[in-house]
Structure formats: C-alpha cells, structure tokens
Structure 1
C-alpha cells in the first residue's frame, strides 16, 4: 500500500523494495512476498531509467523466486508483469550486468506455462535473440536466454513461426561456442529440438545442425539429459530430411551409428535415453540407403537387445 500510494516517487518505490527485501529471510513472510512481484515490476517499469531500482528489483525477484522454487511453488505471472519486465529489457538493452540478472529472472518465471505464454504474447523472443547476439561471450546470459527460449518454443499453440525461425542461427551460434559447457550445451540442444518440432529449420539448416548436434553429443556423453534431447532433436530433423539422415551416417568425425552404440552402452539402463535412441533409429529406417548402413553395422542385434532389456516398453 505504501508503494501503491506513490508510484511516481522514485524514492518511495526504492524504499519499498528495500523494505520488502528485509523480509526475505523471514519464512513467515513468504506468502506475502509471493504477492509482491506485480508491485515490484510495476515500480521497475514506472522508474525504468533508474538503474539502481532495476538492479534491486531484480535481486529481490530472484530471492522470492528462489524461495518459491525451494518450496515447490510455481509462480504464474500475468501479462502485466511480463510487459513490465520487457520494458526493463528494452530500456537497458546494453547493460550486461543488469541483463544477466534479468535473464535469470526470466528463465525462472518461464518455468510456468502461464508465464511463458504471457512472455510470448508481449513479444519478448526478438529481444532475447538480440541479447544473445550482443552478449554471446557471457555464459550466464546465454544459459538463461536459452532456458527462456526453450520454455517459449515448446508451446503447442505457437504463432511466432517467423520469429522462431530466426532463433535457429542464434541458438546454433550459442551451441557452437559452448559445446564443452555442459549446462549451456544442454539448454541449446533442447531449444534446437523444440525449434525442429515447430518446423523452424530450412533445407539449408539440416546439414550444419545435424553436424553440430553430433559434436554436442560426442563432447557431452556423460550428460544424460543433453544426450536424450540431442537424440530427440536429431530424430526430429531426420524425420523430415534425408539430408540430415545422410549427414548423420557420413559425418567427417565419424558415423553417427557408432555414436548410437556408444550412447547405448553408457545408458542401457536409462529408459529415457534408450527411448530417444529407438525413435532416432525409427526415423533413420525410412531411408533405404540408411537402412543398408544400419544393417551392415548389425543394429538389428542392438534392437533385439533393447527389446529384451525393456520387454514392456
């Protein structure tokens, strides 16, 4: 009420945010803090030129979101809050420190389907792509932005086809730069999978994206989620493109079928990864030339082994 009575006075809003921050460690105050993001973000929007207020607001939001995460509470933020956050993104598009905080906030709130949909509605995707292009060197920003893109791209009723298509080269650039950074590579692979499911890749994308995903798998075989999502992304590409299938078996760094064997031997007890491998082989089997390669590599024996391992799957 103190903040709502004087929206236009920056000092009042700053003190209000500081006062709310003083309750963060008080567990009994948590239910009240859950209701505060709307007030915090509106104060940030009203005083968008105040860098200190933006930073303090973001830090407070992160504290509240972290507590919510610890307690298993998913915070669904409405379109008004999404709009307020977008104003800050655009007003401070060149401030790397603030964007690092803000993109982490966006990643955390986008875990809610409702919030992800509201972020999509207000048109945040082009801004995320601009941030990635500008701050490709910043691993925290790349990780957070890919996390938001993943949440937004998986929406079944996505009307942003053209915008999402422009995310393909940007996401590929992130993956190329951070192939050896497991968390970022995992997040970027997930985005490419979502983009491929949405039909956002063109004929020119299939070969380089297949090679890139193969590289990501080879360099991160110990990361189960990355391996699973990477295989699902490859399956999605191969489903619609023979170019992708032929690239998979003729890659200069090694036949992808050998990689399937390596993955299976590492994860033969993991139904999620094995299921992704089976889907990948199913999509490969629609192309005669690839089938010959599968048979010459005795993949029928591997499939028999999988059936024995997972008889009810």
Structure 2
C-alpha cells in the first residue's frame, strides 16, 4: 500500500519566513500526519496478526530455557528451605494405663527397700554394675516384682536395693549410658514374649530415677544435633523410627516417618555410622541428616 508523503523540504523552502525556519503550523501538520498513519496501522488486521505471532515465537523460544534452569536459580533460598524437615517433638502423654502402641519415655523415682523384706526368686549378677533381682513380697502373695542392686553404691552397703515394679525381665543386661544428659546406666531386657524394655537409670546421691521405654528392640545413643547431649534413636519391631530428646528437662519424642510424611510403599532406615536417615520408594531415594543446632532433618545432596 502506497501512502503519499508530503515534501517537507519543499514546504520549508516555500515558506515566507526566511532561513527555512520550521514553524508551529508546520509542526502541527507533521504531528497530524503521524497520528493518521498510526491509526491506519492499528486499523489494519494484519498488524494484530503479526504482533500475536511474535508473542508466540517469544514464548516458544524462552519457556524451554526457563524449564532448564535449576530450581534454586528460580526460587532462591526458598528451594533450599523446602529440603529441611522440621521435627515437631511431643511430650509423653500422662496415662494411667500404658497401651501397647505407646512409645513414650516416662520417669519414676525408685523406692529403696531392704533385701531382707522380700523373698528372692532370681538373681542375675552383672559384673561391674550390680544385680538384677526378681522377687515376691509376703503381703502380695505370688505377685512378681523386679528391681536391681548397685555395686559400689551406698545402698548396697546398707543391704538395700531399688524396686522398679511389678513383673519380671529376662536376658537382662547393664551398660553405661549418658542418654539425654540424665542417665548413668542403662538396663535392657525382655519384659514379655515380643517386647524389649529399657530403663535409663539416673543416680543422684540418694535419689535414683529411671526413664523407661516399653518397646525398644533397637536403640542407638548418639548426639545428633551436636549440642553435647545424647539423643536416643529407637527402631521398633514394626520398623518405625523414633528420636528421643531432652527438651527443657523433659524427654520428648518424634516419629521420623511422620515427619517425612511417608506414604504406602515408602521405607525409612537409619544408619548409625553415618547418622543418615534414608527414605526409599520406587521413584526415588532421599537421604537426611540431623541439622546441627536445630531440630530439623537436612536433606543431603546426591
């Protein structure tokens, strides 16, 4: 399409004003002509077709490049924070009767009794630690009780021992422990056909306390967050993993599977050597380690 353009040079030369000055009337004439040309272009349907095609070409070219960018280049520090799993520790519930599924760690101050006040049924000597005692009481008939006597402790010199309570244990073992920054000893053993019980023993002059867990087949005691206080990592028979931590003097727990929001088919394991929690399913494997100085799991780079 051919649009006739005015000869601005001829107009200037034909002007009655000397020296070819560009007058205000001439300026208005130029602006009017430019505006007319713009309106003609906007009214031309091919103009919009060309703009639309150019927009599509830009999208087709740039979007694949954006998809190739790493996530953290797009999201910045937010992408890294998504890889951290916050651990929501919960205190142990105060229950009168402890159900089979309960995984809380509770504490109890032990009663000190003279050995002559009970009828000993079984004694298991643990070298360097003391004795496990299974006994009955005259006033309780045939009801079985159990407790322990400590070596090199003032109570043993006085012919006394500490009572844990009703029941009995088999396969008893003592070992040193500094779990939760509270324990001095740990006593493990079976307290039922399918159950292993653990008692962390705290010795404080003449006061002896136990922190007990009623279903702890596998226990690792490690300082996960590097604060100098030992946590306990417990793996149940059902392969559930719990972390127990001393929070303001109270032992609280978190279920690792729940924290990782596992789904059906996911498997979670713990490697005590590398202190790595690993989540595996048919699509991926993710590895986590406890973050130093914070209650969260940090995802490790592959």
Q: What TM-score bracket applies, with the shorter chain setting the length?
A: under 0.3
Structure having the larger proportion of residues in strand: 2
TM-score normalised by length of structure 1: 0.23
The structure having more radius of gyration, on CA atoms, is 2
Structure having the larger proportion of residues in helix: 1
